Chains A and B, each alone.
Chain A
Amino acid sequence: MKLTNSSRWKRFIQKDFTPYLVFAIPLGFLVIFLFWPLITTFLRAFMGSGAKLSLSNLGVSNFSKFLTSPLYQKSLRNSFVLSFSVVIFSILLGVPMGYIVARVKLPAKNLILSLGILPVIMPSFVGAFSWIILMGRQGVARHFLQILLNPLGITIPTIYGMFGMIFTMSLIYYPFVFLLSYSSFSSANPLLEEAAMLMGAGKWRIFWTITFPLILPSLGAASLLVFIRAIGSFGIPAIIGGEQYVLPTLIYFRVNGFWDLNGAAAIAVVNVVITGAVLIFQKYVVSRRQYETISASRSEQKLYTHWAARLFGGLFCLVILIVSLAPQITIIVMSFFEKWQGLLPEGLTLANYKRIPQVSRSELGNSLYLSSVATLFTAILGSIIAYITERRRPKGAAILDLAIMAPFVLPGTVVSVALLSAFSGNALIPLGGTFTIIIISYMIRRTPYVYRSVVASLTQLDPTLEESSTISGANWFYTFRKVSLPLILPGIISGSILTFSTLLQELSTTILLYGAKTRTVPIQIYIAVADGKMGEASALSVILLIVVFIIVYVMNTFQGNKMVNSFKLG
């Protein structure tokens, strides 16, 4: 006996419709502000430069530039060389450091871990410009090293160009590799290695046949993270790239120099295709080796205690930490001086700070306003979408998951180009130069942080808790308020804090979207650096550093040292 139509109808109207209403809004947002811009970008990429958005103008002239223009070819090659080199150097720095900190008895490990994460949570363009102070043409460290090495006939290259970009980025992004391989090395079950030892394997053999294969998945995830950051980075190539263009700076060049959105869209498409290819490679080649450790019991990690291991391990970590944190220290020193071009800075002063309220008041206000509003909306959007995909498991949840994570791998400049393509000029909804378009771009880029964080809380939240509430007579909204929300709140908060602290330093998206009234602090710093006002840039950066540091410090005490996981992908 099938249900009759009338009872189907009865069941329909008896249903609780609040969830569907609540779910419709974020889905609408995604369609309008993510899918639509991405589609227009894709279409624009096939329109000749300056052509109207119309199907009759389809063509591949934008892409053929990659075959004809030396600038395009060079940029593409630079992006490749830069990203892969940064991945390799990050692994060379991060894996040994992770192994040492995990397996060698060292003092102050927690401090090493906390200092190790600093480079990634600090604005990357700050790192870039402080390397100019250290290693630029008049650079302090370069000056100093030159005196030492000149008799040997070695000249130190300046920081400008490919070498500088690889150097700076590796030092900024190695913590991903370091922290993820540290956590794999320290959480690997020592019984597995002990079993290999009992079967007669030597230390070297154990490392290559047991220890290393087990951390491969983590290493793959970390490398992917570094690659995505490196290929999408705008600030570092813009500040120290010099003549060496990469794809994100090329996009900026097309938009800012020629207002050629169609050309920029084509570069963006190429950029995304490369990132996507690497992502798929990682997913199908590396992730497939994910191992479930089968074990009933585990024992404590045995640490190396030999003095030589401790000495060389300690020195290795110390050197990396000092070099990678040198920019932050330089910036703080610089902010109190007028100039720093010889060995020592000159002209101790507070003027750099005193000037901030006059020249940067509106920028500080804008940064705070944009970041907090965007964080608020991101938190709501990310939480609801996480709830839908995780709890309701609608048909196409996988597509939703993919859509929400896509901006995570999209370079900031690409997101800007997409939004400009859809909403600038005489678009249906004109948003060019408004606060709204920046907020939307921030939401699109940071929703993955909140989303992942909430999904993680939700997977730990047993669905029977919600069912049990329903059984007790509570409707969907009551259950959500009293049971689901309180239990996923920690996830929402940590995702939001991460969002807020990264938005305060956001440059690559804002750079294409800001107008006279919507300048933010990172933009101001970028312009100050371009004008050579290092003092002003440093003082602003120090303020940014302090704010971000406080936020992250609070968050770390709040949820333990798991922050690097929030950056992780899939």
Chain B
Amino acid sequence: MSLSLRYESVDKIFDEGSKHAVHALKKVSFTIEPGELFCLLGPSGCGKTTLLRSTAGLESITAGRIFYGDRDVTTIPPFRRNIGMVFQNFALYPHMNVFENVAYGLRVRKMPAADVKNKVTEIMELVGLQDVLRRNPSPMALSGGQQQRVAIARALVYDPDVLLLDEPLANLDAKLRRYMRAEIRRIQKATNITTIFVTHDQEEAMAVGDRLAVLRDGIVEQIGSSDELYNQPKNPFVANFIGKMNFFNVVVTGLTSTSVEVVLADGTKLSVDKKQYRSGEDLSKGMELLVAARPEHLGVCKEKKDPSLEGNVTIIQHLGHIVRYEVKVSLTSSDRTLEIDMDGMVPSIMEKDSVRVVFDEKKVALYTKEGLI
């Protein structure tokens, strides 16, 4: 039986009262559904690891409550919580062989030897390490991917209520990382244990998680499926953290019942659907907004089209499935270099060329400037 996991206005302040007090979590409240694979995503220092360690009980929280199902575990020490956790460096015991590593939690629970053997064999089959178990070497003799699987097996073998993964793929090389994230999803779905997966890699989070929470400075910015977060980010921070987002400074020139008329600093006019305005504040004429466009919602071309903007190509990178153009436009329009993805090379355009940047008006979104880093 899987359990839900609920946070009620959780606050965590490190060194409370001292000069160096750090407010790591600020009134965090949300619920993870039973059996869900939930990703905590955010830049380093955003509080995601603190939230995970608080969930485990390795950090005590300053205020608020944490529930496993209906049970309030806020004050329960970690060793009485029945959780499984995989650490970033796997934390395998170098003085025990693979079998003893996996069996550790069962030995703690004083399970009879025969049952221990069955359980370990079963779980090692699930993670695909039957052969390793037969040889039963020291964990230090295993490859990174195998160590990872042993760590997962060790965390799962005693049927924990909750599984916590702390950047489990960070120590693996890129290719293995892509493979293991699919494996983790397969194993999690097979056991159906409510799981939290912490990562700073948005691609990994989108690939693995049923739902994601984006954290910044101890605040949950947005929770939703990968699709929601990518296509409907609530604010510029989430928009730019989940995938790349280009921003342009605009001013509202007119409002109709269905669309917002805006103008860029160089006079380029855009008309955006009102539904694409994603900030809460009421719109008014003369308001300063941001137009947000994903790299695939922009294009480059030589000839002048409407609406378009003048720019200079700085770098062209061929990435295989797409070609990325980095384009500089006037600082008043956008203070950062634009990234524009095209399906293929545009033969007439070279680096250092002057080009027109065109917008896909139906796809671009509008935000207030709040929350842009």
Contacts and interface: CB of A to CB of B under 8 A. Distances in A.
Contacts of A473: 79-80, 82, 105, 108-109, 158
A340 to B, nearest CB: 53
Contacts of A14: 75-77, 80
Nearest to B74: A7
A478 B56 contact: no
A306 interface: no
B93 A483 contact: yes
Given A1-B63, A2-B63, A471 B79 contact: yes
Nearest to B78: A470
Interface string A466-501: 011111111100100011001100000000000000
A191 to B, nearest CB: 26
A472 B95 contact: no
A392 interface: no
Interface string B36-71: 000000000000000000001010101110000000
B367 interface: no
A7 B87 contact: no
B138 to A, nearest CB: 13
B89 interface: yes
B184 to A, nearest CB: 18
Contacts, number: 80
Given A11-B60, A14-B77, A471 B93 contact: no
A465 interface: yes
Contacts of B56: 471
B287 interface: no
Contacts of B193: none
Contacts of B95: 486-487
Interface in A1-43: 1-3, 7, 10-11, 14-16
B154 interface: yes
A10 B75 contact: yes
B94 interface: yes
Interface string A42-86: 000000000000000000000000000000000000000000000
A336 B84 CA distance: 68
Interface residues on B, range: 20 to 34
A441 to B, nearest CB: 35
B85 interface: yes
Contact of A472 (B11, B64, B104): B104
A468 B77 contact: no
B28 interface: no
Interface residues on A, range: 20 to 34
Nearest to B95: A486
A1 B64 contact: yes
B346 interface: no
User: A7, A11, A471: which has the most chain B beta carbons within 10 Å?
Assistant: A471
Contacts of B142: none
B314 to A, nearest CB: 30
Interface string B296-313: 000000000000000000
Contact of A465 (B60, B88, B93): B93
Nearest to A12: B75
A473 B85 CA distance: 11
A3 B63 contact: yes
Contacts of A462: 89, 91
B91 A475 contact: no
A472 B105 contact: yes
Contact of A471 (B62, B78, B94, B109): B78
Nearest to A3: B63
A472 B56 CA distance: 11
B79 to A, nearest CB: 5
B304 to A, nearest CB: 50
A472 B9 CA distance: 27
B16 to A, nearest CB: 11
B9 A464 contact: no
Contacts of B88: 464
A472 B154 contact: yes
A1 B9 contact: yes
B172 interface: no
Given A467-B87, A468-B87, A473-B109, A16 B77 contact: yes
A484 to B, nearest CB: 10
A3 B158 CA distance: 31
B94 A487 contact: yes
A11 B75 contact: yes
Given A462-B89, A472-B105, A7 B58 contact: no
Contacts of A487: 93-95
A1 B10 CA distance: 9
A478 B108 contact: yes
Nearest to A474: B108
B83 A471 contact: yes
Interface string A440-479: 0000000000000000000000101101111111110010
Contacts of B78: 467, 470-471
Contacts of A483: 93
A478 B164 CA distance: 22
Contacts of A486: 95
Contact of B77 (A15, A467, A482): A15
Nearest to A463: B91
B79 A474 contact: yes
Contacts of B87: 464, 467-468
Nearest to B53: A467
B59 to A, nearest CB: 11
Contacts of B58: 467, 470-471
A473 B88 CA distance: 19
A395 to B, nearest CB: 10
B53 to A, nearest CB: 9
Nearest to B10: A1
A467 B58 CA distance: 7
B347 to A, nearest CB: 41
A465 B85 CA distance: 11
A472 B82 CA distance: 7
Contacts of B76: 14
A547 B325 CA distance: 76
Nearest to A487: B95
Nearest to A8: B75
A464 B155 CA distance: 13
Contacts of A475: 79
Nearest to B82: A473
A487 to B, nearest CB: 6
Contacts of B9: 1
Contacts of A1: 9, 11, 63-64
Nearest to A6: B75
Contacts of B60: 11
B246 to A, nearest CB: 36
Given A2-B63, A471-B84, A472-B84, 10 more contacts: A14-B76, A16-B77, A465-B91, A470-B58, A470-B78, A470-B79, A471-B155, A472-B155, A473-B158, A474-B79
18 contacts: A1-B64, A3-B62, A7-B74, A11-B60, A11-B75, A14-B80, A16-B79, A462-B91, A464-B91, A465-B91, A468-B85, A469-B104, A471-B78, A471-B79, A471-B84, A471-B85, A473-B79, A473-B80
Listed from nearest, the 10 A-B pairs whose CB atoms lie closest are: A472-B105, A11-B75, A464-B91, A468-B91, A471-B85, A464-B87, A474-B108, A473-B108, A10-B75, A486-B95
